[in-house]
Amino acid sequence: MKESITRHTGLSVDFGGGVKTDEDVQRILDAGAHWVTVGSIAVKDENRLLSWFEQYGAEKFFLGADVKQEKIAVGGWLETTSIDLLPFLSKYQAHGVQYLFCTDVSKDGRMEGPSIALYRKIIQNLPGVQLVASGGVSSMADVHALQDLGCKGVILGKAIYEGRVRLEELV
């Protein structure tokens, strides 16, 4: 299915979830994905991730950071680490990562608005990063606020499912 999307549309696709091996990365890129989305591996196996950066280029990776009280969360948000968000992101930006998304897990699915202060802090401390915000977005006002802040994208889920944001409004 993913090959059909990348080969038969003009969409730039990112693909991730459970990316753990060299073969996973190669298969994703061979399928035509523009980016390989990585998250937990950046916490659990930094050396492997850096080797992928060397082999494929850091620009081919979309770093996902799930956070809870500015600490990195892994394992489907079940485990909150002691790793501080900004130094973690800064480290990978220094290795060439340009694209990242950040999900404030305390906000995700709650429809209470995004973590504007958190995203502002990331943008201010990591100039040039292409940040996609995730978690808590409940309206087009939230989308516009994140855009005004400098976010390059927004991940929407529940707001669309509940009809609070319509696809027509996003065009």
Question: Which pLDDT tens digit goes with each residue over 9-67?
Answer: 777 888 888 899 999 999 999 988 999 999 889 999 999 999 999 999 999 999 999 99
Q: Would you say residue 121 lies in a domain?
A: yes
Q: Would you say residue 77 lies in a domain?
A: yes
Cβ atoms of residues 74 and 56 within 8 Å: no
CA nearest 146: which of 157, 124, 131, 160? 131
Average pLDDT score over residue span 132-155: 94
- Report CA Rg, the chain: 16
Q: Would you say residue 153 lies in a domain?
A: yes
Count of CB atoms situated within 10 Å of the CB of 148: 9
Residue 108 pLDDT: 62
N- to C-terminal Cα separation, the chain = 25
Q: Would you say residue 74 lies in a domain?
A: yes
Q: Would you say residue 43 lies in a domain?
A: yes
Residue 23 pLDDT: 95
Structure tokens at 82: 């002691």
Residue 78 pLDDT: 66
Domain range spanning residue 161?
37-47+58-170
Residue 1 pLDDT: 44
Burial class (CB in 10 A: 0-12, 13-18, 19+), 133: buried
Cβ atoms of residues 52 and 46 within 8 Å: no
Taking the C-alpha atoms of residue 158 and residue 136, their distance in angstroms, rounded to an integer, is: 9
CA nearest 115: which of 82, 66, 164? 66
Q: Would you say residue 10 lies in a domain?
A: no
Q: Would you say residue 7 lies in a domain?
A: no
Question: Which pLDDT tens digit goes with each residue over 77-123?
Answer: 567 889 999 999 999 999 999 999 999 887 665 667 899 999 999 99
pTM of the predicted protein model: 0.87
The total number of structural domains in the chain stands at 1
Torsion of CA 170, 35, 63, 93, to 10 degrees: -110
Report how far apart, in Å, the C-alpha atoms of 131 and of each of 4, 7, 84, 98, 127 are: 27, 26, 17, 8, 10
Count of CB atoms situated within 10 Å of the CB of 78: 7
Q: Would you say residue 29 lies in a domain?
A: no
Q: What is the CATH number of the domain that holds 80?
A: 3.20.20.70
